[in-house]
Amino acid sequence: MSGDFFIDINSIYYIRLSKQIIMEPTQDQQPEETQDQIASYHDDIRSIEVSSLEHRVKKARNALFIAAGALALGFFISLAQAGEAFLGDLALIFVPLIVIFIALGFWTKQKPYTAIVLGLIVFIGFWIGFAILDSRNIYMGIIVKVFVIVYLAQALKDAKELQQIKEESKIK
């Protein structure tokens, strides 16, 4: 697994304790009890893995919300520069994009991989579209654009794994 790994100390202690019990069964333990403990241990490990994946996907979710916020800021700056005469035109461009990024941010909780891939496609498409309209748009807000793309791209692998786990075990 790449990236940072999020585990709290209580989980580690519990797993070590469980592992010690599993590895050193007492004479009183039945084989079924040992199997139940092994299954429980496996479930605990899987739960920690899912928590770690969710933590990393949360960064991508935040990047989608930041993209929506950056677009909202761009909308208000463009509105201030262009005047109210262009309010309808600007709203027609910016408002649907803002809504899309907010919706994708929330959708990462159900379908993280799909939402992040769509977020990347829409964001890069938006960037290219605005660059075609005015070449200065390539460089305007470059730091935010790179930040959003990097965070979304970094989370792709983890989001795909998390989505597969959710689909396999129906975790919500």
> Whole-model pTM?
0.68
Looking at per-residue confidence, does 16 or 127 come out higher? Answer: 127
Choice among 23-32, 73-82, 133-142, 162-171 with the minimum mean pLDDT: 23-32
pLDDT at site 53: 82
The residue among 102, 90, 101, 103 whose CA lies nearest residue 124 is 101
What pLDDT shows up at residue 170? Answer: 73
What is the tens place of the pLDDT at every residue in 123-160? 999 889 888 988 888 888 888 888 889 988 988 888 88
Coil, strand or helix at 109: coil
Q: How far apart are CA 123 and CA 161, in angstroms?
A: 23
Side-chain half-sphere of 18: how many Cα atoms within 13 Å?
18
Does residue 161 carry a pLDDT above 80? yes
- pLDDT tens digits for range 36-89: 666 676 667 777 887 888 888 888 898 899 989 988 998 888 888 877 777 787
Q: Phi, psi (5° rounding) for residue 155?
A: -85, -5
